[in-house]
A and B are shown apart, each in its own frame.
Chain A
Amino acid sequence: MKRLHRFFQTPEAIAGALILALLVIMALAAPLLFPGDPQAIAGPALLSPFQHWSLPLGTDRLGRDVLAELFHGARTSLAVGLTAAAAALLVGAVVGTMAGFAGGLIDEVLMRITDAFQTVPSFLLALAFVSIVGPSLGVVIAAIALGAWTGPARVARAEVLSIRERDYVAGARVIGMHPLEIAFREVLPNALPPVLALSSVIVAAAILTEAALSFLGLGDPNRVTWGGMIAEGRTVLRTAPFLSIVPGIALVLTVLGVYLAGEGVVESTAVRRSLS
């Protein structure tokens, strides 16, 4: 309760939370407000926004409802962004903890693998992965996580290296605890805070990467995505710029919201640390 209160102390946090709340409501309300297939034809093609009351944001080249697409696109963006970030954080934290805690050869091997992933641009990695395996929601999530887990892994390892030397880890060894239990029960939870601080950056990057993949036609073809909408609108950019601008604005607002909320969390925990 106190944490929540402190979180809402900063205007950034409030703005971020509001944007994210709006986004979540959009995603949850999409099937209720726009039941049926958002990719179905709803009216005449290329209807400009605010022309018809039932199609407030107009229609695209094929006559699909842009507002319905926007709402359903929010589902994809959030689902992919959050899941990919969660997967990246989980993999990163586990790899980093193993490397930092085990040391020696295991550390060497794990960190060289991390290096290998980090030297390849993460977008190229995602691109290559989706091209090979074929586009579907799960594959896109995996592709994005593949390029995003190295940061959390490095942060977790650095934190674990310092925690490893603390007395309570020695204490856990003295009572005969299994090394894996020490690593994941004693060390990992205490190494998490700085790793979680990365989450807003990773979620934002994942949403952008998903949009970029969809823009290139590598998104799940059965789902509406904002990146796909921008790609759709690109061909008629001169005559119907709103088709690209509307999902573009949604994307910018989403990333902004994630950043601001993340900033708010960091700020509120920083206050808590300085108090204790």
Chain B
Amino acid sequence: MTALLSIRDLTVRYRRGGVEVTALKGISLDVEAGERLAIIGESGSGKSTLALAIARLLARSARVGGTIEWSASLLQKSQSVTPPSGLPAISPARGEIGSLVAGSPSATLETGESRDDGLISPLAGEMPGRVEGGVPERRPSAIGDNNIPLLGRDIGFVFQDPSSSLDPVMPVGKQIAEVARTHLNLAWADAYAKAKTLLERVRLPDPEAALRACPHQLSGGQKQRVAIAAAIAAGPKLLIADEATSALDTIVQAEIVSLIRGLVTEDGMTLAFISHDIALAATLAERIAVLRHGELIELGETDQILNAPRHAYTRTLLDAHLGLDAKPLLDRQGASA
């Protein structure tokens, strides 16, 4: 497998109330192209910070050390077309997201190494903070734009709370079409048609009506489907779902998880699934990374993590899971009604 991105020694610090907090400590991790990776941890483990760092969404005040290298050849095919301004200029025929691009340096692909073609910011040990309007605010010097992933185009991000990630007063059709138009260079009518296709793909009941609906008219699960549609609108290589199902009830959660699994498979996307729930993560992921207090303490195949965890903390998490097969606490205490 080829690494879509390689995280090396990633450290993130930020100040909270005058105290410096280290959110991530020396994380090194490869995300393989096309894999489904779960990043799990409890609150304060740094899992969301990791997701934000990958998506380059960290607050500008965050101090970032280490590197996140993206495989240039695996990023969008349009590298040669992309103007230096960083504005998206992608051919409209973006149906074949999964297939790799003709014209990309195949040598890099074959070796599976992308060390020297995808460095984001080895220079000052800092990463540009956030991406706004698709253009990084502070661009690291001496590095081509080609290997800097664009949020929306190369990375789709689904947040925990769809109510705050969707514009409350804009019809959802427009919001999705906006993404498609910006990143795929589509005409408005085409983008709107694509929005409808996307709403069908995320299995919203009555996509025609949903196009014109505002977020407040939809249920929590429906809003999350819309947020997913917007996230995948430009055909990103990587889909990051940050606690995307945590605010939903069990039934809707299962539906969204199966939706994500389907979409990722169909489009050949790479998935980073951030969750606090190891059981939920295991139903979806091929590999699981366990974070605790900002450190990566275990990374392995899902089977190995579940059945032969190497780290005691992973075992604790597994044992704390209250599944339908767990021994009820009532019995353990020897009290029953």
Contacts and interface: CB of A to CB of B under 8 A. Distances in A.
Contacts, number: 3
Nearest to A272: B17
Interface in B1-51: 17-18
Contacts of B17: 275-276
A1 to B, nearest CB: 12
Nearest to B15: A275
A276 B19 CA distance: 12
Interface in A218-276: 275-276
Interface residues of B, number: 2
A222 B17 CA distance: 52
Interface in A1-20: 2
B330 to A, nearest CB: 26
B61 to A, nearest CB: 10
Nearest to A2: B18
A10 to B, nearest CB: 19
Nearest to A275: B17
A269 to B, nearest CB: 15
Contacts of A275: 17
A4 to B, nearest CB: 15
A2 B18 CA distance: 10
A275 B17 CA distance: 7
A268 to B, nearest CB: 15
B17 to A, nearest CB: 7
Contacts of A276: 17
Interface in B220-274: none
A50 to B, nearest CB: 51
A194 B18 CA distance: 25
Nearest to B61: A275
B18 to A, nearest CB: 8
Contacts of A2: 18
A115 B18 CA distance: 45
A104 B17 CA distance: 42
Contacts of B18: 2
A108 B18 CA distance: 46
Interface string A184-227: 00000000000000000000000000000000000000000000
Interface string A163-195: 000000000000000000000000000000000
B331 to A, nearest CB: 31
Interface string A1-44: 01000000000000000000000000000000000000000000
Nearest to A276: B17
A81 to B, nearest CB: 36
3 contacts: A2-B18, A275-B17, A276-B17
Interface of A: 2, 275-276
Interface of B: 17-18
- Pairs A-B, 3 closest by C-beta atoms: A275-B17, A276-B17, A2-B18
